[in-house]
Amino acid sequence: MKTGYIKIVQTEGKTPSIEARLVNGNLWMDKYDIAQFFNVFPHKIEMNLRSIFKNRLLTEDEVSYTHRYTDKGIEKQCVFYNLEVLIFLSYRIGTFEAEIFRQFLHSTLREHLQKRETQKNAKLLLWHFCSNQNYLLN
């Protein structure tokens, strides 16, 4: 199973940034990878996941995938969670890494909305220009 990755890149003298690789528009991480990413113990991730699912903020079946495999003749399983879970958890955890991730989310959303607004205005301007041109031709 291809899971993608996400990590915080810190270069000296610059603000930390996020490097991510999505697979089919999504990212899958187990609770240990999430704990490492947010710099917390896995138990904290488990508690927050339990709370999120109990309060029906997310549905576990929709945001998780159970990977079953055999290791040395023993059947094992690992639960992976998608990007949506990572976003929810980032607002429940107060570490520096979670704050960097939240800032990344906000800036990415802002860029997307600005790009969309620019494209919308360009289409509106183009339509306005074309409608004026048609008006002049009549």
pLDDT in tens, 34-75: 999 999 999 999 999 999 999 999 999 999 999 999 999 999
The per-residue pLDDT of the chain, averaged, comes to 86
Give the residue numbers spanning the domain of 103.
Answer: 5-137
For CA atoms 63, 29, 86, 17, give the dihedral sign: negative
Query: Helix, strand or coil for residue 119?
Result: helix
* Unique residue bearing structure tokens 């301007």: 125
* Unique residue bearing structure tokens 């494209």: 119
Q: How many structural domains comprise the chain?
A: 1
Q: Determine the Cα–Cα distance for residues 28 and 67; give it in Å rounded to an integer.
A: 11
For the cut 60, the answer to whether the pLDDT of residue 96 exceeds it is: yes
pLDDT at 113: 81
Give the pTM: 0.78
Beta carbons of 90 and 102 less than 8 angstroms apart: yes
Cα–Cα separations (whole angstroms), residue 84 to 11, 16, 28, 88: 27, 22, 10, 6
Average pLDDT for 2-27: 85
Q: What type of residue is 83? A: L
pLDDT-derived band at 134, boundaries 50, 70, 90:
very low
Q: Determine the Cα–Cα distance for residues 97 and 15; give it in Å rounded to an integer.
A: 12
